[in-house]
Structure 1
Amino acid sequence: MYELLDAATRARPDAVVVTSPGGQTTYAELSASVQAIATALVERGERRIAVLLTEPAEVLAVLAACSRIGVEACVYPLAATDEAVDEMVRRFEHEVVVTDRTGLGSPVVAFGALTSVAPGPLPELPESRPIMAMTTGTSGFPRGVRHEWDRLLRAVRKIKPAPDHRWLLAYGLNQFGGLQILIHVLAAQAQLVAATSFQPRDALGAMRESGVTHASGTPTFWRFLLAEMASDGGPVPGLRQVTLGGEAVPGALLDRLRERFPDAHLSQIYGATEFGQNVTVRDGRPGLPISMLEPGGDVQFKVTDGELWVLSKASMLGYHGEEAVPEGSWRATGDLVEVVGDRIEFRGRKTDVVNVGGVKVHPIPVEDRVSKVAGVSLVRAYGRPNPMVGHVLAVEIVLEPGFEESVVAREVREACADLPPPARPRSIKFLETMSTTGNKMLRGAAR
């Protein structure tokens, strides 16, 4: 990452790299901070640190400095409580937390204390330059995923300078999606735009105010954003690129995005923190093209017993505290798929399958069908406990403004009438909003 910043600074020193509620930061200003931070970390002798900072420019500066001197950094989620942060420090064995937060029981150093150090000579580039990312923790306590910067940056050679691009930050920087956006912005010598929060309402405001041209977010984020646009009636952002990733992408959502942003290119990215890189699909269709199953390339796929497996040249080194993963190892993704014609269609996560009287029901196809009903803004299908058959399928729905619950419920039942009986929703519940984590829909039992 340091080399990307150095190249962008030499090419466009006075250009803005980050716009946020805290102000704007140029490439030259960011580079100066990186030199000071790297010097300070060398003087302190730190080897493994945590990062908990609100300003994206500060996070970017710490990550770039660490990549220069071989210090392993890990970004913590801003929403974590003090107790959760202290537990992460204990589990991940971090020496210090770079943060401006007070009240932590763990050793801390303020960002300002690092940038106030006079830049000095730095050692030669180390042979190993590690970084640790975190899983989202949707199925338990987050895990630390160990990577090397050199492997993560293999794909940036394909990114050409695009200084007029303004990318919205719609992922937390503790998420792999957020890290990928940082890498892309630096490689493209572009600008990152951050809102006051990751809530769609704030994101929409930042899009309009800062002239965002490119945005990447989860399908859940885009559903909420479309609902926000429908309710406030404000101007449509002039997006040139809409990217979705992190969850299965239903065809109905692609249709709505295409209608709302007719001048934007639609892309899907498929990846995970463990992969180390993403696969991009630009044909505007849900799922992956079957050509992805052909051998060769930086990322290879295969389907075994209905589950997608991946082999990535940028794959993780392993989880923190566990044995290293042998290079060249295939990895189960946990995503259930079905090859239909020329497409690999997603059916849901293995952990999301609902067992209805011995019949396995995948919630994603049901959600896709329900989402096409007029008036449905958000939908989630899940298994509700039932004493007779173990579980029955239920759905939760958030309505668009102006639609009646009874009418939509009737049309949902009609839309699902030709499904096998176990896949027909047995209950329909209407909510004001949906529970999310990291702008992803919370799965499992009713929330």
Structure 2
Amino acid sequence: MDWLLERFNQAPDRAAFIHRDRHVGYKEVVDRTVSFRAWVVDGGILRGDRVAVLGDYSPEMFCMMLALAQNGNVVIPLSRESVVEKDSALGISGCEWLIEFDDEDFVPSLSSHVVNADHELLAALKTSAHPGLLLFSSGSTGRPKAILHDFDRVVAKFQKQRSPVSAIPFLMIDHFGGINTILGIVANLGTVVTVANRSIGNICAAIEHHRVELLPTTPSFLTMMIASNLHREYDLSSLRRITYGTEVMPQSTLDRLKADFPAVTLQQTYGLSEVGVMRSQSRDDGSLWVRLGGEGFQTKVKDDVLWVRSEFAMLGYLNAPSEFDEDGWFNTQDRVEFDGDYFRILGRVTDIINVGGQKVYPAEVEDVILGLENITDVAVYGEHHPMLGNVVVAKVLTTSTEPVTDLKRRIRRACNVSLANYKSPAKVVLADGPLYTSRQKKRRG
């Protein structure tokens, strides 16, 4: 961890953060981390203690996490829009302390917040004197899983320095992808540009105002952005690269992005909280085929499912059995096709809809529907059927009002032309709001 602060000292005047139009240089990041370390020690936080930190992206939140890591603590970052309630998270992980930032994410307060939850992984980490990072899954398939990492191992991935960029950390601070993004930016002495909220207008305005070069985001956000046409109202010419991950990208969205951003590199990314984020290379800007791996990662396909072995893997779950096999391979639960070194992600095994013994991938149905006029977004999922097991349901968000019977007819006609009959939606439901979660991922069901 010390190497990171030493690197920051190489560019003391360079902007590390632009937070609500406030420029914070790397020297200030180092100084604030050192002062927070002293504040933590004076407050009585001991090496090995578990500390929850509640806030959002800010220089102060980041510096506090570094200070706690240097103090050898287990850091539990929580955002105000977390998918896991604070009490639920702390009930699983346990905690000795709570640090909470004010509404401006500037001034921290410290309180004793003892929640007992013993676990052998936490005990072993404390014995090793390494700092920990504790994150939670979204809980979309049940109870959220508490994922414990060695914080030193997470940071070590970024020791090799690359070119600096200015970027918006789109995913939240309590999400592995969010922490991976922010570490990737600052480890390369780039600039983190924060936004007050992650609406399309705010993101586009920040790109224009601060000449942001990299936008790491999700297919759901990009689908909504393209459908809204809001990106046309801003000068986004500074963008050099758009990366997307966490869910399957519709080919129709990718085609529209390529047309609207011809000078921007479109790069698919892939990672999981359990194993980390791999280096990736899309076959080309308009392709959903991607090469995955990089130093410290290995991949293989078993029964059409992607497995990963990683040097940056989690230590384990605190509240669930390990999903690694005896050789250290992790089952991603992502079904894939492969062509030489390239993979195409088809979707999560848990999202597959079984219609009378036939498999339906929601993304392939969504892709057809998104290509129709007056469709802003769509979420496809399965609904129980007494004879078929499940039928396909499409929940649709339209751009303007349209008679429901006409909409259903258009959708079924398009799906019957492009897909097998059993993949066509048996039901079409009108949505009354966004179809994505606070993490900007598709909400199905």
Shorter chain as denominator, the TM-score bin is: 0.7 to 0.9
Does structure 2 retain, via aligned residues, the 8 Å contact 1:337–1:344?
yes
- Higher deviation after alignment, 318-327 or 175-184: 318-327
Q: Secondary structure at the match of 1:91?
A: helix
Q: CA-to-partner distance for each residue in 1:360-412, whole Å, 9 max, x for gaps?
A: 22212111222223443312111123344232112122234698876664443
Q: Secondary structure at the match of 1:278?
A: strand
Alpha carbons of structure 1 residues 402 and 266: separation in structure 2 relative to 1, 3 Å: farther
Name the count of aligned residue pairs. Answer: 419
- Higher deviation after alignment, 420-429 or 309-318: 420-429
Does structure 2 retain, via aligned residues, the 8 Å contact 1:22–1:55?
no
| Match runs of 1:153-302 below 5 Å | 153-162=155-164, 165-228=165-228, 230-231=229-230, 233-238=232-237, 239-283=239-283, 284-289=285-290, 297-302=295-300
Match of 1:59 in 2: 61
Does structure 1 retain, via aligned residues, the 8 Å contact 2:57–2:172?
no
Does structure 2 retain, via aligned residues, the 8 Å contact 1:147–1:276?
no
Does structure 1 retain, via aligned residues, the 8 Å contact 2:335–2:347?
yes
Q: What is the CA-CA distance between 1:58 and the residue it aligns to? A: 1.8
Q: Matches of 2:95 and 2:257 in 1, distance apart?
A: 42
Q: Secondary structure at the match of 2:222?
A: helix
Q: What is the CA-CA distance between 1:331 and the residue it aligns to? A: 1.0
Alpha carbons of structure 1 residues 327 and 130: separation in structure 2 relative to 1, 3 Å: farther
1:313 lines up with 2:315 in the alignment: no
| Match runs of 1:113-152 below 5 Å | 128-152=130-154
Q: CA-to-partner distance for each residue in 1:97-116, whole Å, 9 max, x for gaps?
A: 110369xxxxxxx61669xx
| Match runs of 1:394-413 below 5 Å | 394-400=393-399, 409-413=408-412
Q: CA-to-partner distance for each residue in 1:260-294, whole Å, 9 max, x for gaps?
A: 222111111111000123232233354444x659x
Q: Matches of 1:396 and 1:343 in 2, distance apart?
A: 32
Q: What is the CA-CA distance between 1:53 and the residue it aligns to? A: 1.4
Alpha carbons of structure 1 residues 327 and 14: separation in structure 2 relative to 1, 3 Å: farther
Q: CA-to-partner distance for each residue in 1:61-98, whole Å, 9 max, x for gaps?
A: 111112222211011131259x9312322221111111
Q: State TM-score, norm by structure 1.
A: 0.84
Alpha carbons of structure 1 residues 402 and 350: separation in structure 2 relative to 1, 3 Å: same
Q: Secondary structure at the match of 2:60?
A: helix
Does structure 1 retain, via aligned residues, the 8 Å contact 2:304–2:337?
yes
Q: Matches of 2:401 and 2:85 in 1, distance apart?
A: 41
Alpha carbons of structure 1 residues 408 and 188: separation in structure 2 relative to 1, 3 Å: farther
Match of 1:11 in 2: 10
Alpha carbons of structure 1 residues 358 and 260: separation in structure 2 relative to 1, 3 Å: same
1:88 lines up with 2:86 in the alignment: no
Q: CA-to-partner distance for each residue in 1:295-347, whole Å, 9 max, x for gaps?
A: x9522222222221111111111112567768851111111223368743222
Q: Which runs of 5+ in 1 are unaligned?
A: 103-109, 115-125
Q: Matches of 2:279 and 2:408 in 1, distance apart?
A: 37
Q: Secondary structure at the match of 2:85?
A: helix
Does structure 1 retain, via aligned residues, the 8 Å contact 2:195–2:202?
yes
Does structure 1 retain, via aligned residues, the 8 Å contact 2:45–2:97?
no
Q: Matches of 2:230 and 2:29 in 1, distance apart?
A: 38
| Match runs of 1:351-370 below 5 Å | 351-370=350-369
Q: Secondary structure at the match of 1:246?
A: coil
Match of 1:111 in 2: 108
Q: Which amino acid aligns with 1:89?
A: L
Q: Which amino acid aligns with 1:310?
A: V
Q: CA-to-partner distance for each residue in 1:146-203, whole Å, 9 max, x for gaps?
A: 11233223432444242xx220121111011110111111112111111111232322
